[in-house]
Amino acid sequence: MLPELFQVGHATIYSYGVLMGFGTLLAILWPVRLADEEGIPAPKVEGLALVIVLSAVIGSKLLTAVDYPGYYSGDWTQLGRQVLDRGGVFYGGLLLALGTSALYFWLARLPGWKVADCVTPGLALAQGLARIGCFLAGCCWGTSTNLPIGVIFTSEQAHAITGVPLHVRLHPTQLYEAVLVLAVIPLLLWLRKHKSFDGEVVLAYIFYYAVLRFFLEFLRGDPRGCYFDGLLSTSQLISLLIIPTATLLLVRLRKQGVSGKESNHISPRVLVNRKARARAF
């Protein structure tokens, strides 16, 4: 655990902020390159990346404030420091980023699903690095365990910032998620090259993460909102909404993709006859 890296004068450089910033930079540069391969203008993708980054930060902090009452001290002079040295709820950032991205696609007249597929690998990379930052900062800790893989936190500073229990062996849920998210990136890149329809990559990742997050939440030990007498957390409820939604969209887009391919193989004369019969009815 290393919540602080070093100091520059009176400014403290936090490990979480550095990793989040590095991941954000890669999440901007990588999608621009992938989109360029699709013939999508780089300036528009750069603008989208900035929209995603800003809305993700704001959304994650807003849901954090809801899930963790008192997490932010209310001292506006310390808000910047708290944003840098404390994490946020990923789903809050994801949901707000999805909404703002849809609006940006419409305003910029971009092929939304195609661009989203280009953004997805960078998103997964940024998320994995951010979870490593969570581990260094001490937030998002797991439940106690006797397994050898468990970790023991000892930083008094991290305890003061996040409340992580000290001198207790805990599941490193931050690292679990980081490994599982980073490991899926090669599959996302492969799927992007072999996808059947636009939107398959982003929806597959959203579905994968929702399932992953639902089960990882059972190993989380930090306070993060609870429902049904503590049975489910806020993120688990969101996962239960996302899983069927992503599934339905995958099925719908696949059907549209199949229909589009069938239309491409039908001669113009047959299409005209079909349209004529449809008008007759």
Q: To the nearest whole number, what is the mean pLDDT of the chain?
A: 83
Average pLDDT over residues 109-116: 92
84 has a pLDDT exceeding 60: no
pLDDT exceeds 70 at position 257: yes
Residue among 8, 154, 164, 153 at smallest CA distance from 86 = 164
**pLDDT for 246 beyond 80:** yes
pLDDT in tens, 151-173: 999 988 888 878 899 999 999 99
Q: Quick check: is 42 in a domain?
A: yes
3 state DSSP class of 233: strand
1 pLDDT band (50/70/90 cuts)? low
What is the C-alpha to C-alpha distance for residues 144 and 221, in angstroms, rounded to an integer? 8
Has residue 123 been placed in a domain?
Answer: yes
pLDDT score for 70: 62
Residue 139 in any domain: the answer is yes
Does residue 280 form part of some domain? no
**pLDDT value at position 244?**
97
Q: What is the pLDDT of residues 19-74, one digit of tens each?
A: 888 888 888 889 989 998 888 988 888 888 889 888 888 888 777 777 666 655 55
In a domain, 281, yes or no: no
Q: For the chain, how many structural domains are there in total?
A: 1
SS3 of residue 109 by DSSP? coil
Confidence of residue 17 (pLDDT cuts 50, 70, 90): confident
Is the separation of the CB atoms in 89 and 235 below 8 Å?
yes
Task: Answer whether residue 278 is part of any domain.
Answer: no
Q: Is residue 11 part of a domain?
A: yes
Parent domain of 185: 4-273
Residue 82: pLDDT band (50, 70, 90) is low
What local confidence, expressed as pLDDT, does residue 86 receive? 55
Name 173's Cβ contacts closer than 8 Å, sequence gap at least 6.
140, 141, 142, 216, 219, 220, 221
99: left (phi over 0), alpha (psi -120 to 50) or beta: alpha
In contact, 55 and 100? CB cutoff 8 Å? yes
Neighbours of 47 (CB within 10 A): 15
Please tell me the predicted confidence (pLDDT) of residue 49.
86
Report the 10 Å Cβ neighbour count for 156.
Answer: 9
Report the percentage of the chain scoring pLDDT > 70: 81
Confidence at 213, pLDDT banded by 50, 70, 90? very high
**CA-wise closest residue to 177 among 148, 208, 153:** 208
Is 20 contained in some domain? Answer: yes
Q: What is the 3-state secondary structure (H, E, C) of 8-36?
A: ECCEEEEHHHHHHHHHHHHHHHHHHHHHH
pLDDT value at 272 more than 60: no
pLDDT at 259: 60
Secondary structure in 3-state letters for 148-217: CCCEECCCHHHHHHHCCCCCCEECCHHHHHHHHHHHCHHHHHHHHHHCCCCCHHHHHHHHHHHHHHHHHH
pTM of the model: 0.83
Give pLDDT, residue 228.
Answer: 77
pLDDT exceeds cutoff 60 at 150: yes
| 201, pLDDT greater than 50 | yes
pLDDT score at 276: 54
Q: Which residues pair with 7 in a beta bridge?
A: 12
